[in-house]
Amino acid sequence: MMDKPVNNRAWFLVLPVLIVVAFSAVIPLMTVVNYSVQDTFGNNQFFWNGLGWFQEVLESDRIHAALGRQLLFSAIILAIEIPLGIFIALNMPKRGFWASLVLVLMALPLLIPWNVVGTIWQVFGRVDIGLLGHTLAAMGFDYNYVNDPVDAWATIIVMDVWHWTSLVALLCYAGLQSIPDAYYQAARIDQASRWGVFRYIELPKMGGVLLIAVLLRFMDSFMIYTEPFVVTGGGPGNATTFLSIDLVKMAIGQFDLGPAAAFSLIYFLVILLISWVFYTVMTAQRETP
Amino acid sequence: MTLELRGVSKEVAGQAWTHPTDLVLAPGSMNVLLGPTLSGKTTLMRLMAGLDQPTAGRILWQGRDVTGQRVQDRGVAMVYQQFINYPSMTVYDNIASPLRLQRVARAEIDRRVRETAAMMRLTPFLDRRPLELSGGQQQRTALARALVKGAGLVLLDEPLANLDYKLREELRAEIPRIFEASGAIFVYATTEPEEALLLGGNTATLWEGRVTQFGPTPQVYRAPQDAVTARVFSDPPMNFKPVVVTGGEAALDDARWPVDVPDGPYTAGFRAAHLTLDQTPRAIPLAARLDATEITGAETYLHLLHGQDRWVGLVPGVRRLAQGPLTVWLDPAHVYLFDQCGRLARAAPYARAA
Amino acid sequence: MARITLDNLAHSYSPAPKGDADWALKPMSLTWRDGGAYALLGSSGCGKTTLLNIISGLLHPSRGQVLFGDRDVTTLPTADRNIAQVFQFPVVYDTMTVRQNLAFPLKNRGLPADRIAARVASVARMIGMEDRLDRRARGLTADAKQKISLGRGMVRQDVNAILFDEPLTVIDPQMKWELRTQLKALHREFGHTMIYVTHDQTEALTFADEVVVMSEGRVVQAGTPQSLFDAPAHTFVGYFIGSPGMNLLDAQIAGATAFVDGTAIPLAAPYAPSAGRVQIGIRPDAVRPATEGLPFHLVRVEDVGHHRILRGEVAGTPFNVVVPEGEPIPAGFDRIALDPARIGVFVDDWRIEPRERAA
Q: Give the count of beta carbons closer than 10 Å to the beta carbon of residue A103.
A: 15
- Specify which residues B313 forms β-bridges with: B302
**pLDDT at residue B135 tops 50:** yes
Q: How far apart are CA C23 and CA C280, in angstroms?
A: 31
Residue B165 three-state SS: helix
Predicted-assembly ipTM surpassing the 0.85 threshold: no
In chain C, the percentage of residues whose pLDDT exceeds 90 is 52
| Chain centroid to CA B258 | 33
Q: Cα–Cα–Cα angle for B210, B212, B218, nearest 5°?
A: 140
Domain match, C186 and C283 both: no
Q: What is the DSSP letter of C284?
A: G
Residue C74 three-state SS: coil
pLDDT band at A4 (very low <50, low <70, confident <90, very high): very low
| Identity of the residue in B17, B51, B53 whose CB atom sits nearest the CB atom of A2 | B17
Counted domains in chain C:
2
pLDDT band at B292 (very low <50, low <70, confident <90, very high): confident
Any C CB within 8 A of B312 CB: yes
**pLDDT at residue C151 tops 60:** yes
Residue bearing the bigger pLDDT, B226 or C174: B226
State the average pLDDT for chain C.
89
**pLDDT at residue A157 tops 60:** yes
C-beta of residue C238 within 8 angstroms of C-beta of residue B166: no
Residues sharing a CB contact under 8 Å with residue A272, sequence separation 6 or more, in sequence order? none
> Residue type for B97, please?
S
| Identity of the residue in C45, C225, C242 whose CB atom sits nearest the CB atom of B295 | C225
A-chain residues within 8 Å CB-CB of B52?
A: 5-7
| Identity of the residue in A182, A183, A190 whose CB atom sits nearest the CB atom of C108 | A190
C-chain residues within 8 Å CB-CB of B314?
A: 306
Q: How far apart are CA B52 and CA A77, in angstroms?
A: 47
Cα torsion C155, C156, C158, C159: sign: negative
* Residue A210, CA distances (Å) to A78, A176, B191 in order: 11, 11, 38
* Residue C166, CA distances (Å) to A7, A57, A69, B301, C11 in order: 37, 66, 57, 21, 21
Strand C194-198, strand C218-223: pairing: unpaired
| Identity of the residue in A186, A204, A289 whose CB atom sits nearest the CB atom of C135 | A289
Q: Identify the CATH number of the domain in which residue C223 sits.
A: 3.40.50.300
Q: How far apart are CA B197 and CA C304, in angstroms?
A: 5
Among B345, B327, B326, CA closest to B268: B345
Half-sphere exposure of C210 (CA within 13 A, CB side): 15
Q: What is the DSSP letter of B238?
A: P
Give buried/exposed letters for C7-46 (b at 16+ CB in 10 A, else e).
bebbbbeeeebeeeeebbbbebebebeebbbbbbbbbeeb
pLDDT of residue C358: 46
pLDDT of residue B229: 94
Residue B255 three-state SS: strand
C-beta of residue A36 within 8 angstroms of C-beta of residue A54: yes
C-beta of residue B226 within 8 angstroms of C-beta of residue B338: yes
Show which residues on chain C lie within 8 Å of chain B, measured between beta carbons: 43-45, 172-174, 177, 180-181, 184-185, 188, 199-202, 205-207, 225-226, 228-230, 239-245, 283, 285, 300, 302-306, 309, 311, 324-326
- Average of per-residue pLDDT across C140-157: 87
**pLDDT at residue C324 tops 50:** yes
Residue in C with minimal Cα distance to B222: C305
Q: How far apart are CA C309 and CA C243, in angstroms?
A: 10
Q: How far apart are CA B279 and CA B330, in angstroms?
A: 8
Of the listed ranges A53-57, B113-117, C179-183, C202-206, the least confidently predicted one is A53-57
C-beta of residue B222 within 8 angstroms of C-beta of residue B196: no
| Chain centroid to CA B123 | 30
Q: What is the DSSP letter of A22?
A: I
**pLDDT at residue B280 tops 70:** yes
- Among C202, C220, C240, which residue terminates a domain? C240
Q: How far apart are CA B132 and CA B138, in angstroms?
A: 9
- Average of per-residue pLDDT across C228-256: 92
In chain B, the percentage of residues whose pLDDT exceeds 70 is 99
* Residue C66, CA distances (Å) to C8, C28, C57, C71, C241 in order: 9, 11, 10, 8, 28
Looking only at Cα atoms, what is the longest distance across chain A?
78
Query: Which secondary structure element, helix H or strand E, spans residue C71, and what is its range?
Result: strand C71-72
- Specify which residues B324 forms β-bridges with: B290
Judge: B38–A3 Cβ closer than 8 Å, yes or no. no
* Helical spans, DSSP H, in chain B: 41-49, 91-101, 106-119, 135-148, 165-182, 193-199, 217-222, 227-232, 349-353
B-chain residues within 8 Å CB-CB of C341?
A: none
**pLDDT at residue A41 tops 70:** no
C-beta of residue C137 within 8 angstroms of C-beta of residue C94: yes
Q: Which long-range contacts (CB under 8 A, 24 or more apart) does B133-137 make?
A: B133/B91, B134/B167, B134/C44, B134/C45, B135/B83, B135/B162, B135/B163, B135/B164, B135/B167, B135/C44, B136/B163, B136/B164, B136/B167, B136/B170, B136/B171
- Among C225, C240, C255, which residue terminates a domain? C240
A-chain residues within 8 Å CB-CB of C135?
A: 289
Domain match, C212 and C259 both: no
- Among C172, C206, C240, which residue terminates a domain? C240
Interchain CB contacts (distance < 8 Å): A and C: 54
C-beta of residue A129 within 8 angstroms of C-beta of residue A123: yes
- Average of per-residue pLDDT across B79-84: 86
Residues sharing a CB contact under 8 Å with residue B119, sequence separation 6 or more, in sequence order? B144, B147, B178, B181
Domain that holds residue C32: 4-240
Ramachandran quadrant class, B62 (left: phi over 0; alpha: psi -120 to 50; beta: rest): left
Residue bearing the bigger pLDDT, B158 or B82: B158
**Shortest Cα distance, chain C CAs vs residue A185, angstroms:** 8
- Average of per-residue pLDDT across B68-72: 79
Domain match, C252 and C274 both: yes
Could you give phi then psi for residue A223, rounded to 5 degrees? -105, 10
Q: Give the count of beta carbons closer than 10 Å to the beta carbon of residue B304.
A: 22
Q: Give the count of beta carbons closer than 10 Å to the beta carbon of residue A60.
A: 16
Domain match, C294 and C160 both: no
Could you give phi then psi for residue A208, rounded to 5 degrees? -60, -50
pTM for this prediction = 0.80
Domain match, C217 and C297 both: no
| Identity of the residue in C180, C241, C305 whose CB atom sits nearest the CB atom of B221 | C305
**Shortest Cα distance, chain C CAs vs residue B190, angstroms:** 10
pLDDT of residue B186: 92
Give buried/exposed letters for B32-42 (b at 16+ CB in 10 A, else e).
bbbbbbbbbbb
Residues in chain C: 359
pLDDT of residue A285: 62
pLDDT of residue A222: 82
Domain match, C182 and C296 both: no
**pLDDT at residue A13 tops 80:** no
Domain match, C256 and C223 both: no
State the average pLDDT for chain A.
80
Radius of gyration of chain A (CA): 23
pLDDT of residue C168: 87
Any A CB within 8 A of C135 CB: yes
**pLDDT at residue B23 tops 50:** yes
> Strands of C23-32's sheet, edge to edge?
C23-32, C4-12, C63-68, C71-72
DSSP C297-349: EEEEEEE-SSEEEEEEEETTEEEEEEEETTPPPPTT--EEEE-GGG-EEEETT
Query: Which secondary structure element, helix H or strand E, spans residue C225, and what is its range?
Result: helix C225-230
- On the question of a cis peptide bond just before residue C289, with omega within 30 degrees of 0, the verdict is no
**pLDDT at residue A1 tops 60:** no
Residue in C with minimal Cα distance to A201: C93
- Average of per-residue pLDDT across C303-330: 90
Judge: B294–C184 Cβ closer than 8 Å, yes or no. yes
Q: How far apart are CA A145 and CA B171, in angstroms?
A: 74
Domain match, C142 and C258 both: no
> Strands of C218-223's sheet, edge to edge?
C83-86, C161-165, C194-198, C37-41, C210-215, C218-223
Question: What residue ranges define each of the domains in chain B, with the CATH number in brackets?
Answer: 3-229 (3.40.50.300), 236-353 (2.40.50.140)
Q: Identify the CATH number of the domain in which residue C255 sits.
A: 2.40.50.140
Domain match, C207 and C251 both: no
Domain match, C253 and C230 both: no
Judge: C108–A185 Cβ closer than 8 Å, yes or no. no
Any A CB within 8 A of C87 CB: yes
Domain match, C252 and C119 both: no
Q: How far apart are CA B36 and CA B228, in angstroms?
A: 12
| Identity of the residue in B165, B173, B200 whose CB atom sits nearest the CB atom of C199 | B165
C-beta of residue C153 within 8 angstroms of C-beta of residue C98: no
Question: What residue ranges define each of the domains in chain A, with the CATH number in brackets?
Answer: 65-255 (1.10.3720.10)
Q: How far apart are CA A9 and CA B196, in angstroms?
A: 37
Q: Cα–Cα–Cα angle for C84, C88, C90, nearest 5°?
A: 75
Q: What is the DSSP letter of A24?
A: I
Taking 3-state DSSP, the helix, strand and coil percentages for chain C, each rounded to the nearest 5, stand at 30, 35, 35
pLDDT of residue C359: 44
Domain match, C169 and C64 both: yes
Reported as a single tens digit per residue, the pLDDT across A213-258 is 888 888 888 888 777 777 777 777 777 777 777 777 776 766 677 7
**pLDDT at residue B128 tops 70:** yes
